[in-house]
Structure 1
Amino acid sequence: MRWRGCGDTLEAHPTTTWTETRVSSKRIGWIGLGRMGEAMVKRLTKAGHAVEVWNRTAAKAAPLAEYGATVVNSKQDLSTCDTVFTMVSTTNDLKEVLFGDGGLVAGAQRPRVVIDSSSISQEGSAEIRAKLEALGVVYLCAPVSGNAKVAKVGKLLVVASGPKAIYDEAEPLLAAMSRKAMWVGEGELARVWKIAHNTMFGVIIQNLCEITVLAEKAGIPRNVFLESINDSVLGSMYTRYKTPVLTNLTFDQVTFTPKLLLKDMDLGLGAAKAHGVAMPAAAATRESIARMVGRGYEDIDFAVLLKETAADAGLDIQPLNVEVSDGLSN
């Protein structure tokens, strides 16, 4: 299907093309202000973009007014925006904010473009795309790599899929929130990328906790071992920014919860099954994360896996209370 711009909406039209849809920075909306959404909005406002925001818990939206954002009262207040970003927890959450009672596109007016940065399934995303396009709304998937701390300092990676022309037009907005934005193809390919990314994310933290416990039980100070890994060929932005919490056991400084990681591991294994790919390391990690969730870990950082791994090894780990870099300082 091709599209014709018409005021604040798009209508199907047989004689025009995707390139005639323009993503404008004049009216930008944002739905979902958790740890990630809040940090990303702040990057947009810092870059000079006017952003209108809505969050289910209004108290989370209010502080963004100090950064130049406009807090609106309902999702439909954003329906006349040109572009609306969404950043929510699950596929069902995204469906609700878009199509549910009082949803963004549930009324007569709709934004021209929806850009979603949530971590959701490929199948759910395809269903949402079909519904949005039937309503004349263009849809771009734009999941990210990095946590709220990474977002705060502008070091996210944004990986997008959908109409290439729309990505090209949205790229300045994506770039304002990240160190790099890239397009991987049409449709839901960015969802596949995010699922693969977060599956690897889980496997790495599992292995990092295991080897850290091994090193400490053998006698290497935990902070020294982690520093050595960070400076080795195995070091990465990920291992560096998890080093402070693994060193000082500050699991109350939440970046990502065990429950959310379990959701992503399940998405990864579901995709592997659909595509006929064996992933034994991911399967073992999934069970380890499920055990943490089963033990009642809720609003706590998933790096608490270190404590569980140490307990399994008969090691009573303690906070080291030393200052270590997270590698994110500019």
Structure 2
Amino acid sequence: MTSLSSVGFCGLGLMGSAMVSRLLGAGHSVRVWNRSPEKARPLVQLGAVAAESPADMAQHCELVILCLTDEAAVSDLVLGPHGLLRNGAVRVVLDHSSISPEATARLASQVKAAAGIDWVDAPVSGGVSGATSGTLAIMAGGDPGALAAAMPYMQAYSRQVTHLGSSGAGQWAKLCNQTMVATTLCAIAEAVHLAQRAGIDAGKLPQALAGGWADSVLLQTFVPRMLAPPDESIGSVATMLKDVDNIVEAAHTVNAYAPVLAAVRQRFVDARQQGLAQEDLSHIYRVAGTA
């Protein structure tokens, strides 16, 4: 596939806004759209062009990048009455949203049949800090040529891009990633709780464990956040529970044995029931502390 000369970006939450800022900083002209228009204003001030709707964006952009909350949002933006399929300039949709592999394969088939558009599922790992610093890890599925055509744009906000196979493969890799992240967060929360019950300084765990087998970016990031409530969220309990639910459903479809994941899911369900759904992921510690 030849290069893509114009780019649009839909979904301007914390992750999406950071990605667009990186694109603008790299010298790309970017059209942006968000369901809540006010989120586009800071990016317009940086040089982005606001689109009136996804359909309006599709008139001008060969590549449209998505970073949305869930499958319903993705489907509506693409297939809805004001969606991307209403106009014909789009050649590639690059989806950074985390949705199910099954939904991805279905959407990829629909847009290819309806408009000849290639769909690349490209969920990310690295959080808002990774997007801001341009060090995201991207797990991709779909046509290799379409991925290569979108690569110059992804390079603005990623450290590595790995192609894993056909449509849905990127989402499967993201489910593996989130299995490890969600499980590790719960383990860190229990370790902090254990340290406090034992009377040792839990705040020194990152230092004490640095370089050992238990060390990780999650350990170094979340122990301080668990001990001192953060001012800004880097990911919500609700979003992680959505991902865990996707993992449980997907694991069932391929008959994967995942008993630990079931226990982890219950922790996040407990957090939601305690009113913590919109809180930062570090608040999973509050569930460990009350069990």
| Aligned pair partner of 1:241 in 214, 221, 234 | 221
Deviation at 1:296, TM superposition (A): 1.9
Match of 1:261 in 2: 240
Tell me, in whole angstroms, the C-alpha distance in 2 between the residues paired with 1:61 and 1:222.
40
Unaligned stretches of 5+ in structure 1?
1-20, 313-330
Tell me, in whole angstroms, the C-alpha distance in 1 between the residues paired with 2:14 and 2:210.
25
Match of 2:276 in 1: 297
> What letter is aligned with 2:69?
S
Map 1:52-63; keep pairs closer than 5 Å.
Answer: 52-63=31-42
Is 1:203 paired with 2:183? yes
> SS in structure 2 opposite 1:160?
strand
- Equivalent pair of 2:139/2:162 in contact (CA under 8 Å): yes
Match of 2:90 in 1: 111
Deviation at 1:176, TM superposition (A): 1.3
Tell me, in whole angstroms, the C-alpha distance in 2 between the residues paired with 1:145 and 1:237.
12
| Aligned pair partner of 1:183 in 163, 172, 191 | 163
> What letter is aligned with 1:255?
I
Runs of 4+ in 1 over 4 A off after TM superposition: none
Tell me, in whole angstroms, the C-alpha distance in 2 between the residues paired with 1:296 and 1:246.
17
Deviation at 1:229, TM superposition (A): 2.8
Is 1:47 paired with 2:31? no
Which protein has the bigger helix share?
A: 2
Match of 1:309 in 2: 288
> SS in structure 1 opposite 2:215?
coil
Match of 2:140 in 1: 160
> SS in structure 2 opposite 1:291?
helix
Q: What is the alpha-carbon root mean square deviation over aligned residues?
A: 1.4
Map 1:121-140; keep pairs closer than 5 Å.
Answer: 121-134=100-113, 135-140=115-120
Q: What is the number of equivalent residue pairs in this alignment?
A: 289
Unaligned stretches of 5+ in structure 2?
none
Tell me, in whole angstroms, the C-alpha distance in 2 between the residues paired with 1:261 and 1:23.
35
Deviation at 1:243, TM superposition (A): 3.5
Deviates more, 1:180-189 or 1:111-120: 180-189
Higher gyration radius (CA):
1
Identity of aligned residues (%): 29
- Equivalent pair of 1:253/1:300 in contact (CA under 8 Å): no
Match of 1:27 in 2: 6
Tell me, in whole angstroms, the C-alpha distance in 2 between the residues paired with 1:31 and 1:185.
25
Instruction: Spell out, residue by residue over 1:238-291, the C-alpha distance to the aligned partner (whole angstroms, 9 max, x if none).
Output: 2222233123122x5212211111111111111211111111111100011111
- Equivalent pair of 1:200/1:282 in contact (CA under 8 Å): no
Inter-CA distance 243–179: structure 2 relative to 1 (3 Å threshold): farther
Deviation at 1:141, TM superposition (A): 0.8
Match of 2:209 in 1: 229
TM-score, structure 1 normalization: 0.84
Tell me, in whole angstroms, the C-alpha distance in 2 between the residues paired with 1:150 and 1:164.
24
> SS in structure 1 opposite 2:9?
strand
Deviation at 1:202, TM superposition (A): 0.7
Tell me, in whole angstroms, the C-alpha distance in 1 between the residues paired with 2:74 and 2:123.
13
> What letter is aligned with 1:125?
T
Deviation at 1:181, TM superposition (A): 1.3
- Equivalent pair of 2:139/2:171 in contact (CA under 8 Å): no
> What letter is aligned with 1:121?
S
